[in-house]
Structure 1
Amino acid sequence: MTVEAPTLADPHDWLRRRSRWSVFEIAFWVASLLPFFLFQTYLPLASQIAITALFAVSVDLVLGYAGVVTLGHAMFFGLGAYSAGLISKAGWGEPLTGLIIAGLFAGLVGYIASFIIVRVQHLALIMITLGFCLLTYELANSMSWLTGGTDGLQGVETWPILGVFRFDLWGYAAYGYALAALFLGLVLSRRIVHSSFGLSLRGIRENVRRMPAIGSDYRGHLQKIYTISAVMAGCAGALLTQTTDTVSLDTLSFQRSADVVVMLVLGGTGRLYGAVVGTIIFMVARDQLSDMNPQYWYFWIGLLLMVVVLLMPRGILGSLAQLARRRD
């Protein structure tokens, strides 16, 4: 009797299956249009959520998929914000080109920084990324002649999108613009993580020392994803500038980097939509709790974070996916 050897699954076929759009994803994007019709008073908040979600997705690419723990990604967010603001102040307020230039500038800085990032690990990596953020913050603060310092950058004025859609107080154009950018960012991120490059990133996250043994250029992969992540973070910062016509030092603060890590923990790292879900929960909770208690609302955020970590250590989406697998 001949026993046939089990056939190995084709990784390309597995990636193709994973890259298909699920019903839940389509339902999410349909639901994202509801603020236009049902929650018009919350459109400014919704645009802020979309911008921050794009920033959270950029961090998830390096933290959740490549295992690069960073506490300084606000540096790229702030660089994108100031770049878009300075371009507009110089007399060119066209939003799309400003967005692209700001993202490319943040990506260039990210590429330069990646040569240091790939050479350190663990605690040293956290300290290096945090140091980058603090240095950039103090540099922007000291260069008040360029950045406005603690007063923020003044004179920012963004032109209508495509010369038609003007940014208004109600936030229709701002939300549509931010939502479109988030959608494109997620499409690009899905393409990355559901590719052979994405599999290499997962391998680096699980065991970086074994990757050279199978011929993987792990440093090159880390540099690529760190640069891509910096571009996305810079675009998120530019979106904030263009939709609010303001730039402040807060865009470069450590608090912004810490908040986005909290969002990823809430939603679940290594899951692109976990970054979006975590952002929605965090920012809606912050909006409601700050109205209830303007001084001590972080207490409730901390309590929420502790409950999620203790009961759902993989984050909300990660734990729900685990429950679904057990049920199946």
Structure 2
Amino acid sequence: MECTSGRTDWVNIAREVLDTEIEGLEAVKGQLSETFATAVTAMAGCSGRVVVTGVGKSGLVGRKIAATLSSTGTPSFFLHPVEGAHGDMGMLRDEDVILAISNSGGTDELNAILPTLKSLGVTIICMTAHTTSDMARLSDIVIEVAVPREACLIGLAPTSSTTAQLAVGDALAVCLMEWKSFGRDDFKKFHPGGSLGQRLASSVDQLMHCEGLPVVGSDASLHSALEVLNSGGLGLVAIVDDETVLKGVLSDGDVRREVCCGPFDVTRPIGEVMTLSPKRANVGESSALVLDVMEQNQITVLPVVNDDGVLVGMVHLHDLLGKGALRFSGSGLTENVG
């Protein structure tokens, strides 16, 4: 097909679209009020399911929101209004909460089932740009999601509005995760097939690196350790004794602090500079627990030891999160001991 547009600066157009959608998100951020908090409380206190409903693009957004809620600890499913009007409302119970989505608030198919939903005793939360619409009037809790304009050239195709709906849905899900203290173990339980879930379900020794570790012996000089640190590309050197028992570590941060403290003597023994009794992971330890230790202590690399304290590997934050395997170019484990 031939381009009939007067513009062909596609990157600039894309940036304009993103700027418009960002503008919409900023507007919705400013609209958030206590009604949002009321909606979170209603959904958190729900002993049934959060049933999301909507038509067209809002319905597609609703399917995503329902999936996100379900995968983060809030049982949820999507109900199409037309199917609901033809018998599927029988799936609902009075302990459920409805999340109805419509930008205009005037979607006929959706508004047609709201009176019946109210008669079932369910709580109705709606997400709309028009807080005085029929849908808002028929709802118990109204979340305003109004963007200044759509991002499309004619201002009609749902773009900024659906992005904002999706973002508010994410905000609801994250607030509910916080409410329920939904953690990594919970995530792992609901994501056994996902790559992150599989990684967090594994033990650290399944992900750690075992060869070419950046290591020096406990009698090495600071200069020797710096050479390994520089070539290892990991930002950490493990210091071990003759039996490869972990005695300490030297990190980039340790070096920076040492430089700032005064004269920097590279001939000093590494034992005077290294961090003693460093954080470490144990063979067989859950990757999820190791990730917690890393985050709580702002550490990106941990040495891994066995029951005797012998260094057997190292694990990087990226190994746990699946950002790609690192390649250690440091010297071998035994080569630098002594």
Shorter-chain TM band: under 0.3
Q: TM-score by structure 2 length?
A: 0.19
Q: Which of the two has greater strand per residue?
A: 2
Q: TM-score by structure 1 length?
A: 0.20
**Larger RCO (alpha carbons 8 Å, 6+ apart):** 1
